[in-house]
A and B are shown apart, each in its own frame.
Chain A
């Protein structure tokens, strides 16, 4: 029983095997990809392992505090930022091995030519609640 975040990147991950930008796929290929993602989430809900899944817009802004009584400063997006998150899925599984297995399946989503993208997904464990028994 541990939660993991499966992170999908627009930018910053190593190059996928089937590395064709999505706007160069056929409409049917895009539909097939979306269907695969939906089916995957539905299947995880059935196995009792799904927690959450969200997609993020590629454009965002940087925001920071600018001192008492002043509005926050906004800036960006910065083109030089290496890492850009595209979306995530949160799963609740019995083992790290299971998290890796599911990330592998998610990475097999079809892309250009209907072939698996083999994209790199980042698997990050959640920090859990502390155990009761410590010694």
Chain B
């Protein structure tokens, strides 16, 4: 049984049920049930060669048709049970209602619905992973380290929130991209590889809509994912970009990301994800940390600051300025920023160290460690402080 194939069919099967007249929440439950049944009854081998050998009407020949049939039956069963419970007449026909032909952009509509602006970010993420990604509630709960009951409630609440939204309304692709970015960037590492899942979902979105920022986000994800093996040491510690073993970067992923980014940039509709991807591409392009084209990176940060006006971008820009024009210039760029920004102390520590002021750097690294939002970063910053203190005393 090919879980990737199964899950890739989720949005189109769900789209067909909704177009036949099923309401979104009930259709989504029915598709989940059908997926669970598929895992149970489908044969292990769904490869093309085994498909040729199979007979007509079984899941191997037509996995999507099988899922639609089973999901529709589950939907009817649930609706009937519900109707009976409310002592109503059974109004549901055995045969599917003649809805409009399945449109090619069902998948896209599902992305819009699951990222609807009325949802909180965590609800949109959970709903997207289930209704578009085909993950089970248990898998999503494990991925975000919350109890299954809590995640079930979060998802059903999200479904209630969007229950009044019309399925064929066009949505804003920017909201979808923010949700996918969150899945990629804030994923915990559990059994479900959320970064890989975010890439899969963004790839699927890129196939459904031609938009340079979708391409930009996909490129950004691929370029960062390429460094994954090099980002952590064998003990789980964080390895900063400059110290990573670049031989462990995934060159296939980098080449794909750069190709997608170049095609997007050629269309001359710049957005924040393309600009972020351009910065990642410049890092990927440098054979060693010393050969990084920091001047160009500063220029991309200037573009990014124009597009987003984010203080975090200006903070990262100060690091790049420090590399391009020296630590004093970096500290000057930092001086105009609010020092309560996350990672401000870490950036200041780094620039002071490069400027030779080890005492200030050590003090700031220790301060940054106290403010660090995650464990790996805190440990990394504490080690930096300890390293400088040992050097000063030794």
Contact = CB atoms under 8 A, between A and B. Distances in A.
Interface of A: 1, 3, 45-52, 92-94, 125, 127-135
B219 to A, nearest CB: 12
A45 B146 CA distance: 10
B229 interface: no
Given A48-B123, A92-B122, A129 B187 contact: yes
B373 A92 contact: no
B185 A132 contact: yes
Interface of B: 120-123, 125-126, 144-147, 149-151, 153-155, 157, 182, 184-189, 195, 220, 224-225, 228, 238, 241, 276, 279-280, 283, 316, 319, 372-378
A48 B375 CA distance: 25
Contact of A1 (B186, B238, B378): B186
Contacts, number: 88
A49 B123 CA distance: 10
Main secondary structure of the interface of B (DSSP, over half): helix
Query: Which 7 pairs of residues, A with B, have the shortest CB-CB distance?
Result: A48-B154, A127-B375, A48-B153, A1-B122, A130-B374, A129-B188, A130-B376
Contacts of B151: 48
A3 B283 CA distance: 32
A133 B185 contact: yes
A49 to B, nearest CB: 7
A48 B155 contact: yes
A46 B220 contact: no
B369 to A, nearest CB: 11
Contacts of B225: 132
Contacts of A52: 147
A131 B157 contact: no
A94 B186 contact: no
A49 B372 CA distance: 24
Q: Which interface residue of A52, A94, A135 has the most chain B CB atoms within 10 A?
A: A135
A14 B262 CA distance: 59
Nearest to A134: B241
